[in-house]
Amino acid sequence: MDTNKKNILVIYHSQGGTMKRMADRFAKGAQKEENVTVTYKKAAEATLDDLLQCHGIAIGSPEYFGTMAGMIKDFFDRTYEGAKEKTIGLPFIVFVCAGNDGRGAVTQIERLAAGYKWKKVQEHVRIVGPPTKEDLARLEELGQTLAAGVDFGIF
């Protein structure tokens, strides 16, 4: 990682591939900003260090059983103690996919983010059913927005 640049951490979980398609586009958008680096990982592979080194985080989760995917919760479980005092004010964005709802996942992720005292810098994106071309384009734009906002120090 280029330590002179700010870093965006994009973490996601996907079992069936829908969230992977969404997160791929989000990360692609973030990578358009040349002055930031992007760490793009499945949540299960993301570490406390990844979190401590980032200047903005995006979390992409499917809704499973009315809440976030277990591996997203696992990331929070593994990092909270080490990160809670060190990531206060971290800009964050949430995006969720769901078969018919998704609101439970959004609410729970935002509740945990509040526990870390992170800063919500854009409204979440919740996509119900297969994402359309427009949905994916919107996610790409959102990724670029997060990266640009962090780069310019707006967030």
Ligand X SMILES: Cc1cc2nc3c(=O)[nH]c(=O)nc-3n(C[C@H](O)[C@H](O)[C@H](O)COP(=O)(O)O)c2cc1C
Q: Which residues bind ligand X (CB under 6 A)?
A: 14-19, 62-66, 97-102
At closest approach, how far in Å is the CB of 141 from ligand X?
A: 20
Compute the least distance from the CB of residue 155 to ligand X, in Å: 27
Nearer to ligand X, 99 or 115 (CB): 99
Using the minimum distance from each CB to ligand X, give the nearer residue, 22 or 147: 22
Q: How far is the CB of 133 from ligand X (least distance, A)?
A: 16
Supply the minimum distance, in Å, between the C-beta of residue 126 and ligand X.
9
CB neighbours of 8 closer than 8 A, spacing ≥ 6?
A: 30, 36, 37, 38, 39, 54, 55, 56, 57, 58, 143, 146, 147, 150
Q: Phi then psi for 51, rounded to 5 degrees? A: -70, -45
Nearer to ligand X, 64 or 80 (CB): 64
State which residue, 54 or 127, has the beta carbon closest to ligand X.
Answer: 127
Q: Which residue number, 82 or 104, has a Cβ lying nearer to ligand X?
A: 104
* Shortest distance (Å) from residue 125 CB to ligand X: 13
